[in-house]
Amino acid sequence: ESVASWLENKQPGDLLNEVQRFARNRPGTFLLLAAGAGVLAGRLTRGLTAGATESQSSAAIPAPPTVQPAVAPLHQETVYAAGAGD
């Protein structure tokens, strides 16, 4: 609760100054925290996109196969057998 009230009482510029001061005073800790936040954000993003893909694939209903009607030829050729005219 104290962190929430502290954040409510600060302006965005004040928060940025606090972060910069922390980074200057403890650069190693700041880099570790930033790397951890980046890994966490990457995992969350990957998990959300994988979950969205799974829900879309399970919700997708395959379309029924389409049946093409038989088409009669436009021109019927006459075929003569060899030797039929003798």
Q: Would the pTM of this model clear 0.85, i.e. be above it?
A: no
User: What spatial distance separates the first Cα and last Cα of the chain, rounded to whole Å?
Assistant: 110
Residue 62 pLDDT > 60, yes or no? yes
Nearest to 25 by CA among 13, 15, 17, 35: 17
In contact, 18 and 10? CB cutoff 8 Å: yes
pLDDT of residue 8: 86
Separation CA 27–CA 24 (nearest Å)? 6
Separation CA 56–CA 75 (nearest Å)? 48
